[in-house]
Amino acid sequence: MRRSLIGGCHKHFKPHHLRAVSCRFLSNNEQPRMPPCDFIPEKYESLPYERVMDIRNKNLSIALSTYYKKPILLHQGHMQWVFDHEGRRYLDLIGGIVTVSVGHCHPKVTEAAKKQMSRLWHTTNIYLHSPIHEYAEKLTSRLPGKLKVLYMTNSGSEANDLAMFMARLYTGNFDLISLRSGYHGASPYTLGVTSHSAYKPGVANGFGCHSTMCPDVFRGIWGGSHCRDSPVQTTRTCSCSPGSCDAKDRYIEQFKETLDTSAAKKLAGFIAEPIMGVGGAIQYPKGFLKEAYQLIRARGGICIADEVQTGFGRTGSHFWGFQTHDVTPDIVTMAKGIGNGFPMAAVVTTEEISNSFAQALHFNTFGGNPMAATVGSAVLDAIDEGDLQNNCKLVGTYLLLEMAKLRDKFENIGDVRGKGLMIGIEMVTDKETRQPLPTQEMNLIWEDCKDNGVLLGKGGLYNNTFRIKPPMCITKEDVDFAVAVFQNAVNKYLETKSR
């Protein structure tokens, strides 16, 4: 592990915070100590906090919600850390909603962007420029088989929108299948395959899209302690016999029923995340996605892997999430971590599918601009040089196992799941009923973690899953600190509840 690229900082809330202390060694009254960091943020000299809030309330859409009762005014970032306007340091365990892959302001990516900015900011792809061609070759070399043709876009929603369009053009069919609880974007097209009512505006969108039962082995009807590809399994009793998965077979039957009752005999395609992101890091039974792909292809459809959150080594064992399911999709969409926070996305497909898209003129003004291609290329280099995929495997597994110890200790931690640094912690009222922990109670834990220097995401259909998807450069010391903070927050919540 290269300490130059995977490391910490120097200042925190108090100067004596010099080392990490594992939750395993904390007494009830002992406060976790944040790992050291040798980065000192610049002094904040911009708009006062009150002025920022006033502008937000008056001039930005009310639809732009903020985290926390008192929103954080972020000023600067460095690798796995972010700093607010008062200089307080936070361990960022949600990475700009799974977007900061190699680290905030990673030096290699930042330097590449600066050099390209001084040379050529923008030109459309009607002209040749070397960055997009260098990047196309570098990115597609990491994909298997015939997945060699690249289309660059600007966001995950746009990439999925384009993939859906391609599927319909290529097959000549219209119906698309997705999984309930999945999220694929909020554009009018992608809302059809997004299965969260919170994102549905109540107007017509996404015609020809059908959802099928989410194969969730924790909250779903079937599943148990041998069903998923994770270092941590559910605590539910498993009905699987050796060499088979009963839950997988039952969810596949539901999948077949959806195809037989809700969709046309011929399909355009199927879109799924290898591990659900917004849905709460839900993992499917082993073998489910492989059989689902076979069923879709038997009906003339193609398979789309939404790698917006799982791609670029985050799962640890593989560079792409779909590889953990032993499948090869026909189209792969990617965004978020592809640019480490720079607005870019991509669709990769086969030459055959790509050729069908040439029926009409396709043009994207900003897709594949010199800045995006340069940043994307530097991100790939940073992943390799920092050995970040392996770091996801080692540190992610450690984090999962440490959180599993807390699950076994606390009645309100229902499930710990995930792979690599794609992790979900589902909170419940009790393990027997698996009733979701109410939002107000979730927020007590969430806010307390923030107050003690750890930023978590939230998600899941019932918004009761803490999402942990940090920059891929975090260390075991960071994990010890985060787990200790989380343990203290749960303890404090339980004490408050018992009063």
Number of other residues whose CB lies within 10 A of the CB of residue 81 = 27
User: Between residues 27 and 191, which one has the greater pLDDT?
Assistant: 191
What's the pLDDT at 5? 42
Concatenating the DSSP letter of every residue in 206-270 gives -TTEEEE----TTTSSS--TTSSSSSS--SSPP-PPTT--HHHHHHHHHHHHHHHHTS-SS--EE
Concatenating the DSSP letter of every residue in 390-403 gives HHHHHHHHHHHHHH
Residue 20 has pLDDT above 80, yes or no: no
What's the pLDDT at 1? 34
What's the pLDDT at 26? 54
Residue 427, SS3 per DSSP: strand
What's the pLDDT at 419? 98
Number of other residues whose CB lies within 10 A of the CB of residue 207 = 11
Residue 13 pLDDT grade (very low, low, confident, very high; cuts 50, 70, 90): very low
Rg of the chain taking only CA atoms, in angstroms: 22
What span, in angstroms and rounded, lies between the C-alpha atoms of 490 and 151?
A: 45
% of residues, the chain, pLDDT over 90: 84
The mean per-residue pLDDT over the stretch 264-290 comes to 97
Domain spans in the chain, listed from the N-terminal domain onward: 15-31+96-102+387-417+430-499, 109-385
The DSSP H or E segment spanning 162 is helix 156-171
CA distances from 490 to 411, 431, 452 (A): 10, 15, 13
Supply the DSSP symbol for 81.
Answer: E
Q: For the segment 307-334, what is each residue's pLDDT rounded down to a tens digit?
A: 999 999 999 999 999 999 999 999 999 9
CATH code for residues 109-385: 3.40.640.10
Q: For the segment 86-122, what is each residue's pLDDT rounded down to a tens digit?
A: 999 999 999 999 999 999 999 999 999 999 999 999 9
Q: For the segment 115-160, what is each residue's pLDDT rounded down to a tens digit?
A: 999 999 999 888 999 999 999 999 999 999 999 999 999 999 999 9
In a 13 Å sphere around the CA of 371, the CA atoms on its Cβ side amount to 16
Q: For the segment 374-432, what is each residue's pLDDT rounded down to a tens digit?
A: 999 999 999 999 999 999 999 999 999 999 999 999 999 999 999 999 999 999 999 99
User: Between residues 418 and 18, which one has the greater pLDDT?
Assistant: 418
Residue 437 has pLDDT above 80, yes or no: yes
What span, in angstroms and rounded, lies between the C-alpha atoms of 89 and 118?
A: 31
In a 13 Å sphere around the CA of 466, the CA atoms on its Cβ side amount to 32
End-to-end CA distance of the chain: 46
Residue 351 has pLDDT above 90, yes or no: yes
Residue 7 has pLDDT above 90, yes or no: no
Residue 192 pLDDT grade (very low, low, confident, very high; cuts 50, 70, 90): very high
Closest CA to 167 of 297, 353, 2, 332: 353
Concatenating the DSSP letter of every residue in 408-423 gives HH-TTEEEEEEETTEE
What's the pLDDT at 471? 98
The mean per-residue pLDDT over the stretch 155-169 comes to 97
The mean per-residue pLDDT over the stretch 256-268 comes to 97
What are the phi and psi torsion angles at 3 (to 5°)? -65, -20
The mean per-residue pLDDT over the stretch 197-209 comes to 87
Closest CA to 459 of 447, 469, 474: 469
Level-2 CATH architecture, domain 15-31+96-102+387-417+430-499: Alpha-Beta Complex (3.90)
Amino acid (1-letter code) at residue 346: A
Mean pLDDT of the chain: 92
The mean per-residue pLDDT over the stretch 222-251 comes to 91
Residue 499 has pLDDT above 90, yes or no: no
Residue 3 has pLDDT above 50, yes or no: no
The DSSP H or E segment spanning 153 is strand 149-153
What's the pLDDT at 18? 30
What's the pLDDT at 28? 56
Looking only at the bridges linking them, the beta strands covering 331-334 and 457-459 are unpaired
% of residues, the chain, pLDDT over 70: 94
What is the torsion angle, in degrees rounded to the nearest 10, for the CA atoms of residue 390, residue 395, residue 396 and residue 402? 160
What span, in angstroms and rounded, lies between the C-alpha atoms of 142 and 330?
A: 15
CB 228 within 8 A of CB 283: yes
The DSSP H or E segment spanning 488 is helix 476-498
Burial class (CB in 10 A: 0-12, 13-18, 19+), 447: middle
What's the pLDDT at 362? 83
Q: For the segment 61-85, what is each residue's pLDDT rounded down to a tens digit?
A: 888 888 999 999 999 999 999 999 9
Residue 344 has pLDDT above 70, yes or no: yes
What's the pLDDT at 65? 84
Q: For the segment 442-496, what is each residue's pLDDT rounded down to a tens digit?
A: 999 999 999 999 999 999 999 999 999 999 999 999 999 999 999 999 999 999 8
Q: Give the range among 10-24, 146-160, 185-199, 393-407 with minimum mean pLDDT.
A: 10-24
